[in-house]
Amino acid sequence: MNNLSFEYPAWFLILCATAGFVVAFVLYFREQQFREQPRGLIWGMGILRWLGYSLLAALLLSPLLRYVDRDQQEPVVVLAQDVSESVGMEIDTTEYRAQWTALRDALAEKYQVVEYTFGQSFRTDGDLQFTDKRTNLDAVLTEISDVYGTQNLGAVVLATDGIYNEGTNPAYRDLQIKAPIYTVGLGDTSQRRDLLVRRVFHNKIAYLDDRFSIQVDVSARGATGSSTRLTVSRVGEGGKVLFSENISIQGDDFFTTKEVVLTADRPGVQRYRIALTGIADEVSTANNRRDIFVDVLDARQKILVLADAPHPDLSAFKQALATGKNNEVEVAYAGKFSGKVGDYDLVILHQLPSAKNPVAGLLMQLGTNKTPTLFVMGERAPAAAFNAAQDLITYRGTAGASGNEVGGRLVAGFNLFTLSDELKQSINSYPPLTAPFGEFTPGPGATQLLQQRIGRVDTEFPLVTIGESRGVRTGVIAASGLWQWRLFDFLENGTHERFDELISQLSQYLTVQEDKRRFRVNLAENIFDENEPVRLDAELYNSNYELINDAEATVTITGDDGREFEFAFTRTSNAYTLDAGILPVGNYRFRARTNTGNEDLTYDGRFSVQAVEVERYALEADHGLLRQLSERYGGELIFPAQLVDLPARLEAAGTVKPILLDTVNTRSVIHLKWIFFVLLTLYAAEWFMRRYFGGY
């Protein structure tokens, strides 16, 4: 529909017409030169002049042309099909595919059909394979809400068994779906005789030689009077059983929880199988077992406390360090020690070096092996030997002088590790230690934890200092007598926790070693799901420890059965990455290789792929959820046999219909090209007539 409007009152058109008439009248009826011309010619030229001037004057009123564009938005019908394993186990997939395809084709004749498949994720490919390991109902409905909530959505057809194991309950979500949801109930809602391992709770990480707990939830339906046997075995050792227990099933809806305690007796990712022996006539035995993976870390630290002579501090160190379950603490004396310091993760030198035991050879071994070292100074520490052994602090003392009694005070701003508030408050009240008499100066790489307080005077002399000395993490306690702190802690607080925390934090800092390997492979996780691609990232450094990726990098992944998978890393901006795809369930080891031109570099590692079987543990369809969802959005619950009638139901409901959209557009008439040609024609015709008949 078109109409014309003006920015000025419409009656101004009368003025425009009058102005055009006056011009034409004066020119053709008042001028003497046209009186001899035929009367019809004069009237023709006058009318042309009148029309041209009137139209030109009307254009000065800025006329606007309003017109309406009408578009028709076709209705959209969304088909969403659950393709998880639980659906595939409960229906005749061949027959159902034919029913679903027939529905799609019938709806596509009248409507715009958009098809989704969903399980652990949603897709638009419409491939009905029923292999997804998880189901997320909320994700696909949220996608439909976000994409089609503001469009002409006529209906949503959601075909599922109502079982979801990821995401939230969609029945309680406020989705922006303004169309009826027709749910198609798949699966069987009846409770059938079944025994299953419902859930398994366990730590994903355990430490070598520690005991860890596995909590197993066992349930059974319709199996009163039966019995089963719960076993836990390590996969890969011929099914060696580590734990077993008989369970008697009492009641039609039976549930019990069993706790299994195992010992982490070997490092690496261990695969354990929790299994129940089957009972007669159960609907499925696939849910009678579960496999779990536990990453057993060999985090044991071998710590050597090497002393110049017997001292109460030795026992204090040993007991404090022994609170860490993964610490192996050994006490020895310099004059009798015959081991190798390179076999230890941390060496504590108590009052060493000394005048009696300079231990020059041992200090050389420590430097060669890059072994972290904690020095505890005695009151008669030889300055020259001590300064030569490390460079965190410089000590200038007087030979033969007696020791100083010093307390400790926390250095503000220390942030290499965290101390509890209780320990911070206790340090100020601890009894004094015995430090060598002299001056102490911290080195450039030193970080002070505690400084010396002599009497009531706070000094700048370091008491506890840590840092890196000659490329190795090193610590210096510039005093002895720490046993008094541990004893005082117990007297004041009834425990040794605060003192033990101080020694533990020191040892942890010193034993954490930076990875200096020039070729490294990183995994986001050590345990992948079977439906999750295995991704590896690699980094290569040159001699200056700058990231490079000029060389080609490859990796060989080997499974438990000896099968090898060869891959080449893809270069990123300055590193490498690899998507190895989805691998079968099992334990894997890998070796990555690269060559920098003059050096071969390798990196070895391990990971595991675990089975995802959550779809096998709940087989009873939840049609109540589907009915609730349909009622909330104005649809209804139907079943596969009724799919053939669904197009007729939608047409009868009248909700799936096109929408007419009218768009009002406004355009200035002066922008219309034909107006120009009309004016040109009028003025050209008048000019020609005047010229031809001698008007010029």
Residues linked to residue 535 through DSSP beta bridges, in sequence order:
579
Look at residue 320 and tell me whether its pLDDT is greater than 80.
yes
Residue 400 φ/ψ region, left for φ over 0, alpha for ψ in the -120 to 50 degree band, beta for the rest = left
Question: Which of 44-58, 369-383, 488-502 has the weakest average pLDDT?
Answer: 44-58
Residue 416, φ and ψ in degrees, nearest 5: -70, -30
User: Do the strands 519-523 and 346-350 form a parallel or antiparallel pair, or are they unpaired?
Assistant: unpaired
- The whole-angstrom separation of Cα 532 and Cα 8 is 71
Give the amino acid at 320.
A
What token pair was written down for 653? Answer: 């409901």
Look at residue 84 and tell me whether its pLDDT is greater than 60.
yes
Look at residue 147 and tell me whether its pLDDT is greater than 60.
yes
More confident residue, 222 or 236: 222
CA-closest candidate to residue 269, choices 4, 568, 560, 591: 560
411 falls in which pLDDT band (50, 70, 90)? very high
Look at residue 553 and tell me whether its pLDDT is greater than 60.
yes
Report percent pLDDT > 70 for the chain. 95
CA-closest candidate to residue 96, choices 640, 644, 645, 642: 640
Distance of CA 523 to the CA centre of its chain: 14
- What is the three-class DSSP state of 489? helix
- The whole-angstrom separation of Cα 366 and Cα 193 is 67
Do the beta carbons of residue 157 and residue 77 sit within 8 Å?
A: yes
Give every CB contact of residue 352 below 8 A, 6+ residues apart in sequence. Answer: 306, 307, 308, 334, 359, 375
- The pLDDT of residue 496: 93
- The whole-angstrom separation of Cα 273 and Cα 287 is 12
Look at residue 48 and tell me whether its pLDDT is greater than 90.
no
Look at residue 696 and tell me whether its pLDDT is greater than 60.
no
CA-closest candidate to residue 682, choices 27, 16, 58, 54: 54
Q: What is the pTM of this model?
A: 0.57
Integer angstrom CA distances of residue 174 from 168, 566, 633: 12, 49, 11
Distance of CA 601 to the CA centre of its chain: 31
- The whole-angstrom separation of Cα 257 and Cα 200 is 10
Q: Which long-range CB contacts under 8 A does 597-601 form with residues at least 24 apart?
A: 597/551, 601/517, 601/518, 601/519, 601/540
Q: What is the mean pLDDT of residues 118-144?
A: 87
Look at residue 525 and tell me whether its pLDDT is greater than 60.
yes
Straight-line distance from the first to the last Cα atom of the chain, in angstroms, rounded to the nearest whole number? 45
pLDDT in tens, 327-383: 889 999 998 898 889 889 999 999 999 989 999 999 999 998 889 999 999 988 999
Do the beta carbons of residue 559 and residue 584 sit within 8 Å?
A: yes
Give the amino acid at 507.
S
- The pLDDT of residue 282: 84
Q: Which residue has the tokens 């997939």?
A: 93
Q: What is the mean pLDDT of residues 200-220?
A: 87
What token pair was written down for 482? Answer: 């720490």
Residue 313, φ and ψ in degrees, nearest 5: -60, -30
Task: Give the chain's domains with CATH numbers.
Answer: 2-69+666-692 (no CATH), 75-187+621-657 (3.40.50.410), 194-297 (2.60.40.10), 301-511 (3.40.50.880), 519-610 (2.60.40.1930)
- The whole-angstrom separation of Cα 580 and Cα 536 is 8
- The whole-angstrom separation of Cα 303 and Cα 318 is 9
1 falls in which pLDDT band (50, 70, 90)? very low
Question: Which of 21-25, 219-223, 523-527, 599-603 has the weakest average pLDDT?
Answer: 21-25
**Which alpha helices (H) appear in 390-449, and where do they start and end?**
421-427
- The pLDDT of residue 121: 86
275 falls in which pLDDT band (50, 70, 90)? very high
- The pLDDT of residue 400: 65
How crowded is residue 466: how many other Cβ atoms within 10 Å of its Cβ?
25
- The pLDDT of residue 524: 81
pLDDT in tens, 667-677: 777 777 888 88
- The pLDDT of residue 215: 94
Do the beta carbons of residue 308 and residue 358 sit within 8 Å?
A: no
Look at residue 166 and tell me whether its pLDDT is greater than 60.
yes
Q: What is the CA radius of gyration of the chain?
A: 44
Look at residue 136 and tell me whether its pLDDT is greater than 60.
yes
Q: What is the mean pLDDT of residues 62-73?
A: 75
